[in-house]
Structure 1
Amino acid sequence: MSDVSDPCVTPGGARPASGTRAMVVEDEVELATLLGSYLERDGFEVTVVHDGLSAVATAREVDPDVLVLDLGLPGLDGVEVCRQLRTFSDAYVVMLTARSDEVDTLIGLSVGADHYMTKPFSPRELVARIQAMLRRPRAGHQAEAVVASRTFGDLEIDPAGRDVWLGGRPVALTRTEFDLLAALSGHPRMAFSRRQLIDAVWGPSWVGDEHLVDVHVGHLRRKLGDDAAAGRYVRTIRGVGYRMGTGR
């Protein structure tokens, strides 16, 4: 396990031959070390940092696949770290917070966090949830590599390349937003429940508040210039969940 103060930190150039890169960003040194140890035991290449400014700089170097990010950091808080991270990385982000109120949770999710956990929590559960995220179906996985682009009015989705265009202009989506759109557009006549979308995007082993889906659908709609009333691209099906709109 590497710390930013350790001269043996792996440079950002070569990705390890085996293992997935994880970063733990936590100012509680003992907790950070504990989480790093659990991740290392599970086969991750781990880098640990303890403040927000170091987190952004180090993420640019090591190019992590997943970030465990504390909300209450010195320097830059977790929300600002996540905002900056999303300008150059699509790493999975698990936000940690010591505050259980919904506002903090929604703030974390609004900047592109994929999941959140409230302290105290089990390190084993954290690792299990990270593994579930990494295993979850991707629109670009082998089974969908030959799927043609999908068009809904001005919206075009390329599942294999994980690209989205609206009116010919590219739309920047987070991994989670793209996976939601891919799930909906893959079965455009199907009304998905929140649980079905959780299973498709987060994985069947995910446990938590299913209204997490609503938050990400809201972000997706905003990026597509859509809203619940119009339902041009994502329609709300009352009493059920969501389905793909026609684009008109």
Structure 2
Amino acid sequence: MNDKIRILVVDDEQKVLNVIKAYLIKEGFDVLTSSDGEEALNIFKNEQIHLIILDLMLPKISGEEVCNKIRATSSIPIIMLTAKTEEDNKIEGLAIGADDYITKPFSNRELVSRVKAIIRRTYRDNNPLAQLLVINDGDLEINIEKMIIKKQGNPVPLTSNEFKILIALLTNPGQIFSREQLVNKAFGIDYDGFDRTIDTHIKNIRQKIEENPKRPRYIISVYGMGYKFNG
């Protein structure tokens, strides 16, 4: 992982872009901006991006569609930014793969704080890893830097949280993690979620990378103890 974290901010309001960019640059981040969904996708395809702040109400291609297209190939962290406040909209944003959701108007200090928390949880342990991990003669390919996973050459649409859990397991092959240990390893001790949600994430990961999720080859349950990676 490069020392400089690059963030893509996507919003159709130039004033919002300028303010967010100024705050993030002040915190030492490299920032790219875009005012429409089509341009945002082009930037994502051609630049090394580590996190995206994505407005939902965009011209040309909506924020939801941008998120869906990115999630089809990458687990990069995404923070949704929108004026929509209804709970259903928040749930929808998280369901399509967002890692966090902030409604306008918002505190720029809070946004920066959430960005830092996600960056810390996502990238803090990635420095020692090879950029590309190839498992079982290419059955799985994991690009750590770009957060892209392929199964037999086909992209696997893991969420950012699923990606972090998988990385925590596969970089410690054979080691058994309890749910609490896996939460701490994948997300850090400051994570505010519940350790039982690990079971749901594991189920989702198995559905995406295992030939037979009911008889997993990679993520193995150890009765009464937790999970380990076998590969």
TM-score by length of 2: 0.67
Task: Quote the offset at 1:83 in angstroms.
Answer: 2.4
Measure, in 1, the Cα distance between the counterparts of 2:166 and 2:54: 25
Identical aligned residues as a percent = 27
For 1:200, the equivalent position in structure 2 comes to: 185
Matched, 1:59 2:44: yes
Mapping of residues 124-203 of structure 1, within 5 Å: 124-136=109-121, 140-142=126-128, 169-170=152-153, 172-173=155-156, 174=158, 176-185=161-170, 186=172, 188-193=175-180, 196-203=181-188
The residue type paired with residue 123 of structure 1 is N
For 1:68, the equivalent position in structure 2 comes to: 53
User: Residue 124 and residue 206 in structure 1: after superposition, are their counterparts in 2 closer, same or farther (change >3 A)?
Assistant: farther
Task: Quote the offset at 1:74 in angstroms.
Answer: 2.9
Measure, in 2, the Cα distance between the counterparts of 1:207 and 1:105: 18
Q: Which runs of 5+ in 2 are unaligned?
A: none
Matched, 1:48 2:61: no
Q: State whether residues 25 and 50 of structure 1, in contact with CA within 8 Å, keep that contact through their aligned partners in structure 2.
A: yes
Measure, in 2, the Cα distance between the counterparts of 1:160 and 1:22: 17
TM-score by length of 1: 0.64
**Alignment size in residue pairs:** 218
Matched, 1:31 2:26: no
Task: Quote the offset at 1:37 in angstroms.
Answer: 1.4
User: Residue 246 and residue 92 in structure 1: after superposition, are their counterparts in 2 closer, same or farther (change >3 A)?
Assistant: closer
3-state SS in 2 of match to 1:74 = coil
User: Residue 246 and residue 48 in structure 1: after superposition, are their counterparts in 2 closer, same or farther (change >3 A)?
Assistant: closer
User: Residue 205 and residue 245 in structure 1: after superposition, are their counterparts in 2 closer, same or farther (change >3 A)?
Assistant: closer
Q: Which runs of 5+ in 1 are unaligned?
A: 1-16
Q: State whether residues 10 and 37 of structure 2, in contact with CA within 8 Å, keep that contact through their aligned partners in structure 1.
A: yes
Measure, in 2, the Cα distance between the counterparts of 1:171 and 1:188: 28
3-state SS in 2 of match to 1:141 = coil
For 1:96, the equivalent position in structure 2 comes to: 81
The structure, 1 or 2, with the larger RCO (C-alpha pairs under 8 Å, 6+ apart) is 2
3-state SS in 2 of match to 1:59 = helix
Measure, in 1, the Cα distance between the counterparts of 2:166 and 2:204: 11
Corresponding residue to 1:243 among 221, 227, 230? 227
User: Residue 164 and residue 43 in structure 1: after superposition, are their counterparts in 2 closer, same or farther (change >3 A)?
Assistant: closer
The residue type paired with residue 78 of structure 2 is V
For 1:9, the equivalent position in structure 2 comes to: none
User: Residue 96 and residue 90 in structure 1: after superposition, are their counterparts in 2 closer, same or farther (change >3 A)?
Assistant: same
Measure, in 1, the Cα distance between the counterparts of 2:196 and 2:60: 31
The residue type paired with residue 26 of structure 2 is R
For 1:8, the equivalent position in structure 2 comes to: none
For 1:7, the equivalent position in structure 2 comes to: none
Q: CA RMSD in A?
A: 4.3
Measure, in 1, the Cα distance between the counterparts of 2:112 and 2:8: 12
173-182 or 39-48: bigger deviation: 173-182
Q: State whether residues 69 and 93 of structure 1, in contact with CA within 8 Å, keep that contact through their aligned partners in structure 2.
A: yes
